[in-house]
Structure 1
Amino acid sequence: MKSVDAHAGAPVGTDLGALARWLGERGEQVTGPLTARRIGLGQSNLTYRVDDVDGQCWVVRRPPLGNLLPTAHDVGREHRILAALAGTQVPVPAVVGLCDDDGVHHLVMEHVDGIVLDGLDVAEALPTPVRAGLGPSLTRTLAAIHAVDLEKTGLHDLASHRPYAERQLKRWSRQWDQSRTRDLPALDRLTELLRRRAPERQSLVLVHGDLHVRNVICSPDTGTVRAALDWELSTLGDPMADLGTLLAYWPEPGEVPAERPALGVTALDGFARRDELVQSYAGSSGRDIGPELAFWHVLAVWKVAVIGEGVLRRALDEPRNAAEGGPPSTAYIDQTVDHAWELAAHYGL
């Protein structure tokens, strides 16, 4: 494909005419010219809904624009994982294929109908039983991911089998060093605390790495997860890491950031509370929940801060990378670090 400027939110650097021809070569029925618009609040890989004139639609994901950190934003790796999970109990969109646009991979997959809770208006419109159903469905989805047979799916060599806590601390510390926009001593001290408290590996499973309410499509009638999205952080690791991530992205009343209220949908009445999520996951997975969950919860909040700083850096370097609402501010990132410290104190770390 030749790169062209796009309009009305279409993928910058993608020729939609060439994409239509590629889809046709893959056996997809495409009528007329394609149009595209950016979807979701994700600020990492860029995600677009692509439609033809007959209303058929697909989802396309591509890396952000500008200079990227090594090993980050690998949609080819996402393609491998989604293709491997086809036919398992994990709800994922069907993959059309991996399209190469002048050396930039574009992951093309089916569009799954449903809702994404990426705004208060969406969550507030849901009846209480639907709100109540989402949390348990998310924990069942996590349990299904962690039950994936690594040998049968060919994912046994997806990543290192070394201790996951050590790998995570090394990777995200490096990400912080390479993307920071300023010094933040409170985060540096938290990093050292986490290094001292890192638990030994309990088990090795497929982990999603970023499963939360904005990364799933769910039924508007029941809250059941229809598709788990955004697999770019998926790897092999400890299942408690995924549970910790779910808790980190699940604010309760009084924890909603004033600057980014859309992140606080789970604080609304009717949604499960974090202790209920833990119990639900234990029941769905059959796993014992040990004290190491405290470490993973705090580490996940630490990661949210590191990721936020990376998003801010990419938006400063290339404003077209920013999603609706813009990148997080330094004040929000600082508050996230403060919240991680509060959790560490609560857990006695």
Structure 2
Amino acid sequence: MQATDIRDCPDDAFIERMRARFPVETEIDRTLTRKMRLRRNGERYAAHTLDELVTATASLIRANVGDDFTIANPRWLTGGASKIQVAFDLDWTENGERRQSPMVLRMEPTESVVETSRKREFELLQALDGVVPVPPCFWVDAEGEHLPHPALIYGFAQGVTKPSNLTSQQVTGIGLNYGPDLRATIAEQFLEQIGRFHRIGAELADKLPSYDKAEVGSNESVIRFVNWWRRVWDEDRRQDEPLMDVAYDWLIANAPPLDHVSLVHGDCRAGNFLYDEDTNEITAWLDWELALLGDRHQDLAWSMMDSFGHFNEEGTERLICGMLPYEEYLAAYERLSGLTVDRERLTYYRVLCNYMSIAICLGTGYRVAHAAKTHQDIVVGWLAMVSFPLIEQLRRTLKEVI
């Protein structure tokens, strides 16, 4: 490793070189450029007290609704590796009616393991109202004018991410086991609701001004997405990894044109939705920060990552996302979504999802932990550790196609 690393304190020339080499969506470019310009200030993560965040949250709410509200019962929310979250109760008047609304503040740390746009997340949550269950989204502080960092406020959604009788302490979604009695019910809803937002990407596009559009018959959106994660890798990595160069070249050369424009969740897996343990119904889809207009196969491939699955009780079949065996999973998706699965496209996106996960874990995960940029240094440090099984997974997948 070099004694000094331009990535620790990037100058304008380095930032502009990354922007020119790897063209990405307009809002993604703004977000990543902002990250690099802030990084050279050398700011490290500093804990904010609840009182500080309540005061800043009140400033954001006041700018939108005036002074007639009170905030009560603020408390930290655990879970997740990327954002700081605080739950609170808001007494306010909405549409002429006095309400007591449970809410959540979702704010970036100094630098996140996935650097994304709160503006995009805000637009998408509003656009998805009535499509699939999502928390209502109220206000956004896109540039951190009120909060210490960019943030949004959304309604608190009821439910759990995993059965409450599970005693394991693994990162949510990693090897999550719903158990034989629950998994079929969850799988049916999970795949049917994925199908809903996969079908209507083109219809939602006009409601998403911070998203670059995607077109059937073009691979431009795919190449932008590949470049997103190549740019993240080149901006954040602490070491060379030749396999990432091989994979990038292959992904650009083989980028398939879209056959259908989908809304892609981007982190589509167990652990990123809530369900009610009494009814077993999904109550809210969470963590839309990586969403884009693109190819449905990306979500399918991401959900099939080795780390999100586990074997059944007999040890005879691996369950995708802890739900269904591979062929049953794809067949159920086609039945419930009305969309087809192209196995060749799926293989392409398996490579791309491997590539993306390594950029996040070995690139950004290591950097933000090492540079003390986040409140979740232990979790993101763990992500850096699991990079090496991910590299082996990428090697095996590339070997199938090269």
Q: Within 1, Cα distance between the matches of 2:223 and 2:177?
A: 42
Cα distance per residue 1:212-246 (max 9 Å; x no partner): 11211123245432211111111111111111112
Cα distance per residue 1:249-288 (max 9 Å; x no partner): 532339xxxxxxxxx99676xx322332211111111112
Cα distance per residue 1:49-94 (max 9 Å; x no partner): 33579x963222112214x79x93211210011111112x222111
Q: Within 2, Cα distance between the matches of 1:325 and 1:134?
A: 27
Match runs of 1:1-349 below 5 Å:
6-7=48-49, 10=50, 14-20=52-58, 22-23=60-61, 26=65, 33-40=72-79, 42-51=80-89, 57-66=102-111, 72-87=115-130, 89-99=131-141, 100-102=145-147, 104-117=149-162, 121=167, 126-148=178-200, 150-151=202-203, 154-155=206-207, 157=209, 158-161=211-214, 163=219, 164-221=221-278, 223-248=280-305, 250-253=308-311, 271-290=323-342, 291-308=344-361, 309-322=363-376, 325-328=379-382, 330-345=384-399, 347-349=400-402
Do the aligned residues in 2 keep the contact of 1:63 with 1:74 (CA within 8 Å)? Answer: no
- TM-score normalized with structure 1 length: 0.79
Q: CA RMSD in A?
A: 3.6
Q: Within 2, Cα distance between the matches of 1:27 and 1:92?
A: 26
Do the aligned residues in 1 keep the contact of 2:274 with 2:283 (CA within 8 Å)? Answer: yes
Letter in 2 for 1:207: V
Structure 1 or 2, whichever has the larger Rg, is 2
Q: Which moved more, 1:94-103 or 1:229-238?
A: 94-103
Q: Within 1, Cα distance between the matches of 2:278 and 2:147?
A: 42
- TM-score normalized with structure 2 length: 0.70
Do the aligned residues in 2 keep the contact of 1:58 with 1:111 (CA within 8 Å)? Answer: yes
Q: Secondary structure at the match of 2:284?
A: strand
Q: Secondary structure at the match of 1:121?
A: coil
Cα distance change of structure 1 residues 126 and 202 upon mapping to structure 2, 3 Å threshold: closer
Q: Secondary structure at the match of 1:135?
A: helix
Which segments of 5 or more consecutive residues in structure 2 lack a partner in the other structure?
1-45, 92-99, 169-174, 313-317
Cα distance per residue 1:85-144 (max 9 Å; x no partner): 112x22211112224425733211111111113995379885522223222322112111
Which segments of 5 or more consecutive residues in structure 1 lack a partner in the other structure?
255-263
Q: Which moved more, 1:285-294 or 1:245-254?
A: 245-254
Do the aligned residues in 1 keep the contact of 2:264 with 2:291 (CA within 8 Å)? Answer: yes
Quote the offset at 1:170 in angstroms: 1.1
Number of corresponding residues: 326
Quote the offset at 1:45 in angstroms: 3.0
Do the aligned residues in 2 keep the contact of 1:244 with 1:297 (CA within 8 Å)? Answer: yes
Percent identity between matched residues is 21
Letter in 1 for 2:53: D
Q: Within 2, Cα distance between the matches of 1:334 and 1:35?
A: 39
Quote the offset at 1:178 in angstroms: 0.3
Do the aligned residues in 2 keep the contact of 1:147 with 1:205 (CA within 8 Å)? Answer: yes
Q: Within 2, Cα distance between the matches of 1:131 and 1:139?
A: 12
Do the aligned residues in 2 keep the contact of 1:132 with 1:223 (CA within 8 Å)? Answer: no
Which residue does the alignment assign to 1:259? none
